[in-house]
Amino acid sequence: MKLNKMITSTSATSANDGEKFFDIFNILVGKEIDEDYKKKPVIIQGITGSYGSTHTRLMKAYGTNIVGGVTPGKGGQNFEGIPIYNSVSEAVKVSGAKISGIFVPAQFFLDAAKDALNNGIKLLIAIPEHVPIKDSIEILEHAQLLGAKIIGPNTPGVIVPEIMKVGIMPAQPFKAGNAAVFSRSGTLMYEVSYNLTRAGYGQKLCLGIGGDPINGTNLIEAFNMIKDSQDIESIVIVGEIGGDSEEQLANYLIETKFSKPVVAYIAGRSAPKEKRMGHAGAIIYGNYGSAESKVANFAKADVPVAKSPPEIPKLLAKKLRR
C-alpha cells in the first residue's frame, strides 16, 4: 500500500470505526465482564528485555492483569511468577488475551506485531521508537485486514487511571475522573495529566498517539473512540508542531458539531521552521504543520489552546462552566 493511501485511510474515520474503537476501549477496561472492573488479560512481548521487564513490574504493580510474556527461546521460564512463552500463539491459547504490549527493539517489531495480530490480538500497544516507516505501513494494513487496532508505534501507551495501564507512563500524574487526554508527546501527556489532577480534573482515559509520522491510531480515531461515551465529560488534546493531525481533528470537530468541552496545547511554538525537533513528525515546511496553523484551526472549532500546561485546567474550567 502506498504511503499517501495509508495516511488517507487512517485519517478518514466512519461511525462504524468509532463503534469498533469503543468496543476496544471496553476490552481495555473490562466493562463488559463484571461490575468490579475485572481486568482484561494482557501479554507482554519482549518481557525479558531490560525495558520490558522494568515496565512489566510497574504495570503489574499498578494492577494490570499481565498473564504472560513472550520471548522466543525462553518458553517454560517465568518472570516474577508470570509464565513466559515462545510465541504469541502459545500465550493466547493458554490465557485468551486480546491485548498485547510490545517492548521489542524496532528491528524486531514487524515480526512481533505480525505474530500478535495473526494469533488473535485485537489491541496492540506498540512502544518501540525508530520503527521504519515501511514496517509501520505494512503492519497497519495487516491490522486493518484482521480487524485489529494498534496504538503507536513510539507511544507511551494507554492508561485507565486507577484501573490498569499498558505502557511506560509513571503512575503518579494520573487520577481517575472524567476527562480524556490524547497526546502526541509522552512526557507532555504526563505533565498535562499532572496539572489536570492537581486542579481536580481526573482522567477516564489517557492515550499516547505516538510521535512517528505514521500512527496506528490518529487523533480523529482516538476522538471517535470515546466521543459517544457518557463517562467522558471533556477532552484534552496535546499536540505539537509538524503534520496536520490537529488541523484534521479541528475540522472534524466542526463537521460533527461535537458539543463537549475540548481544550488543547501545542508544543514547539518557538521551534525554528524546516528543522526537525524531537519527534519524526515534528517538522514544519512553510506554514504546513506550524503552531499558528494548528491554533487557528482549533479557534475555528471553538477549542482554546493553552500557552503552557498549567493553563490547561483554567481553560477547561471555563469551558465546563459554559
Instruction: Give the number of domains in the chain.
Output: 2
Residues 51 and 108 in one domain: yes
What is the reported pTM? 0.88
Last residue of a domain, one of 151, 183, 200: 151
CA 119 to chain centre: 22
Among this protein's residues, is 142 annotated catalytic? no
**pLDDT tens digits, one per residue of 71-80:** 999 999 999 9
CATH number for the domain harbouring residue 89 = 3.40.50.720
The whole-number pLDDT of residue 214 equals 87
Q: Answer whether residue 163 is part of any domain.
A: yes
Last residue of a domain, one of 96, 131, 151: 151
Please name which of 187, 167, 205 lies closest in space to residue 58, comparing C-alpha atoms.
Answer: 167
Catalytic residue chosen out of the listed positions 55, 130, 142, 279: 279
The whole-number pLDDT of residue 31 equals 54
Under DSSP, is residue 85 helix (H, G, I), strand (E, B) or coil? Answer: strand
The whole-number pLDDT of residue 211 equals 83
Q: Answer whether residue 190 is part of any domain.
A: yes
Please give the Cα distance from 240 to 208 (Å, whole number).
Answer: 13
Last residue of a domain, one of 151, 166, 181: 151
The whole-number pLDDT of residue 12 equals 40
Residues 296 and 310 in one domain: yes
**pLDDT tens digits, one per residue of 85-115:** 999 999 999 999 999 999 999 999 999 999 9
Residues 183 and 233 in one domain: yes
Neighbours of 63 (CB within 10 A): 15
Buried b (16+ CB within 10 A) or exposed e, 84-114: bbebbebbbeebebbbbbbbbeeeebbebbb
75: left (phi over 0), alpha (psi -120 to 50) or beta: beta
The whole-number pLDDT of residue 4 equals 39
DSSP 41: P
Q: Answer whether residue 261 is part of any domain.
A: yes
Please list the ranges in the chain whose pLDDT falls under 70: 1-38, 271-288
The whole-number pLDDT of residue 240 equals 87
Please give the Cα distance from 176 to 38 (Å, whole number).
Answer: 16
What is the domain range of residue 77?
41-151
Residues 310 and 171 in one domain: yes
**pLDDT tens digits, one per residue of 168-204:** 999 999 999 999 999 998 899 999 999 999 999 999 9
